[in-house]
Amino acid sequence: MKKIIITVVVIVASLGLIAYVLTNNKKENEAKTTIVAEKNASVSVRVETVKTEAVSLDFSSNGNFEPIQELKFSAEKSGKITKILVKEGDYVSVGQTLAIVRSDVINVNAQNANAVYQNAVADYTRFENAYKTGGVTKQQVDQVKLAMVNAKFQLTQANINVGDTRIKAPISGFINKKYIEVGSIISATPATELFDIVNVSKLKLKVNVNESQVASLKVGTVTKVVASVYPDQIFSGKITFIASKADEILNFPIEIEITNNASNGLKAGMYGTAEFASKQQKQSLMIVPRDAFVGGVSSNQVFVIESGTAKLKTVTAGRILGDKVEILNGLSNGETVIVTGQINLQDGSKVDVIK
């Protein structure tokens, strides 16, 4: 009996000890969780200091080169390709024959049309002479003349058809793509694609500038252009187009014409940079990094740090100067703006500055 009592006491004591240990562990875990939660409540950010500095108003813009002329042309007549005189990569001049369409029937038709026309001319001459002597009436002469005019029209059309059997280049440039082979049957409806021709003797660099930059640009202004594949070579460009209306993100498309180098080394699709020189000297401006803006410069909102927390401020942005933006109002020199981590912030969020 005593052994049973002692066993029960030992079990109860053990259970009590286990409960005590578990309770203490729970309190320690809760304390650690609270500490971690407090630490994780801070958002890690990077910052920059608002300052006034001398800034060049020169600016640049990137874009892609496009050919000055580009044409994908199709068949105007139906027929069978009997000969192709060029290959992809060849340079062709305007009017050069690129391919030949079978012309047996077309040539016969042209010969017949010519015979009909020559016969009509002879008839008209004979009737006109007969009219002078009173042998035929004026109405008969007019009918023969009409037949001659119609025959000439038919001959002209037949000669055009003969010419159409020789497919010629409508512009000068390089054969960028050939869609046909010898034996191909081409059709006018639907039109069969024949060749792509691109003219890269000159190119267009298409770039975008913002509203503050476009005000200083004019059509005809000469600019420097650098191609990514020729970083040490400067090309001379001329502004040929400035959009009268901004796009959906308030940028204005600009086109700059560049003469290619002697080897036509610039290719359509390559990456280029236009460098625009400002007539104004450097100016002392209050600036912040472009990355400081929440949702882009047009939002006019930035986060600053005050007493370890993020405060959302509305500012007035001025000109965009590369990766920096002029601040006209809303900030003071020495304030700290957040440049990374804004996506995780709300007004009043605690922040942890990454050194």
Query: Band of the pLDDT at 53, cuts 50, 70, 90?
Result: confident
* Whole-number Cα distances in Å, 163 to 81, 83, 98, 101, 179: 14, 15, 13, 10, 21
pLDDT at 60 over 60: yes
What kind of fold does domain 60-67+199-276 have according to CATH? Elongation Factor Tu (Ef-tu); domain 3 (2.40.30)
For residues 275 and 225, the answer to whether their CB atoms sit within 8 Å is: yes
> What's the rounded Cα separation, in Å, for the pair 217 and 238?
11
pLDDT exceeds 50 at position 35: no
Token pair belonging to 171: 């512009």
pLDDT of the residue at 322: 72
Q: Is 352 helix (H, G, I), strand (E, B) or coil?
A: strand
Question: Crossing angle for the helix pair 138-164 and 104-132, nearest 10 degrees?
Answer: 160
Tell me which amino acid residue 172 is: S
Q: Which percentage of the chain shows pLDDT scores above 90?
A: 39
Q: Are 276 and 214 in contact (CB under 8 A)?
A: no
Strands 351-353 and 43-49: parallel
Q: Is 308 exposed, middle or buried (0-12, 13-18, 19+ CB in 10 A)?
A: exposed
Residue pair 251/208 in contact by the 8 Å Cβ criterion? yes
Summarize the confidence of residues 189-205 as an average pLDDT. Answer: 92
123-175 pLDDT tens trace? 888 888 888 888 888 898 889 889 999 989 988 887 777 767 788 999 999 99
The answer to whether 167 and 98 have CB atoms below 8 angstroms apart is yes
Both structure tokens of 172 = 């000068």
Cα 264 from Cα 230, distance rounded (Å): 12
- Confidence (pLDDT) at 188: 81
Decide the pairing of beta strands 79-84 and 316-321: unpaired
Residue 215 confidence (pLDDT): 83
Amino acid at 269: G
248: which 2 tokens? 């959906």
Q: Give the span between the Cα atoms of 78 and 102, in whole angstroms.
A: 10
User: Which amino acid is it at 295?
Assistant: G
Say how many C-beta atoms besides its own lie within 10 A of residue 200's C-beta.
21
pLDDT of residue 132: 85
Mean pLDDT of 212-236: 89
**Domain regions of the chain by residue span:** 44-55+282-353, 60-67+199-276, 104-162
- Is pLDDT at 99 greater than 60 in this prediction? yes
* Residue-level pLDDT at 86: 95
> Residue 42 pLDDT more than 90?
no
Flag whether pLDDT at 89 surpasses 80. Answer: yes
Q: Has residue 240 got a pLDDT over 90?
A: yes
CATH number, domain 104-162: 1.10.287.470
Task: Write down the pLDDT at residue 298.
Answer: 79
- The mean pLDDT value for 6-31 works out to 56
Lowest mean pLDDT: which of 142-151, 199-208, 209-218, 264-273? Answer: 209-218
What pLDDT score was predicted for residue 321?
76
Please state, in angstroms and as integers, the Cα–Cα distance from residue 189 to each residue in 44, 78, 213, following that order: 65, 8, 48
Among the residue ranges 14-18, 32-36, 327-331, the one predicted with the least confidence is 32-36
- Specify the residue for token string 């001379």: 236
Single pTM value for the model: 0.58
* Whole-number pLDDT of residue 30: 54
Query: What sign results for the dihedral spanned by CA atoms 127, 129, 135, 141?
Result: positive
Is residue 39 pLDDT above 60, yes or no? no
Amino acid at position 12, single letter: V
Residue 342 pLDDT: 87
pLDDT band at 182 (very low <50, low <70, confident <90, very high): very high
What would the mean pLDDT of 68-96 be, rounded to a whole number?
91
Average pLDDT over the chain, rounded to an integer: 84
CATH number of 44-55+282-353: 2.40.420.20
Residues, the chain, total?
355
Q: How confident is the model at residue 37 (pLDDT cuts 50, 70, 90)?
A: very low
